[in-house]
Amino acid sequence: MRHDGPVDGSKLRRIVLVDDLRSFVDGRDAAVARSSAAGVALLERHRDERLDELWLDHDLGEADTIWPVVEVLERAAFEGRPFDIGVVHVHSANPAGAGKMAQALQRWGYRVRIASGSAAVGYLNE
């Protein structure tokens, strides 16, 4: 993950996006995973770092969903070592999936914001 931060010395932000198709429309610097397996690997790579934002989509193409990523977050909290995440943004277009994700993560103490339809993420030609 690049950390091309502000020139004024303000704090650099760590952002992770797990989405099979969308990216940040403003081009913000983020580590991006396009599958649940890649999302789990990204979380593990940043296990001992604070993530300012974690953006999660529910449906990740084919039969893949975000649930393996959610399970890693739940297990960490269950073991008394939750990931240090400022806010989890659930931006899925799947309302039932988004609600279940938010409920599961909130139950373990993660700060969750439902961001379905957020203008921050969109389909880009990469």
CATH number at 108 reads: 3.40.50
Q: Looking at the domain assignment, is residue 7 inside a domain? A: no
Nearest Cα to 70, choosing from 34, 32, 36, 22?
A: 36
Tell me what pLDDT residue 7 has. Answer: 43
Q: Is residue 72 part of a domain?
A: yes
What tens digit of pLDDT does each residue of 16-45 get? 999 999 999 998 999 999 999 999 999 999
Cα–Cα nearest to 119, from 89, 95, 99: 89
Give pLDDT, residue 114: 92
Q: Please report whether residue 5 resides in a domain.
A: no
pLDDT score of 123 more than 70:
yes
87 residue type, one letter: V
Largest CA distance in the chain: 44
Cβ(59)–Cβ(52) below 8 Å = no
Domain that holds residue 63: 15-115
- The domain tally of the chain equals 1
Which of 13, 18, 64 minimizes the C-alpha distance to 40?
18
Place of tokens 């610097």: 29
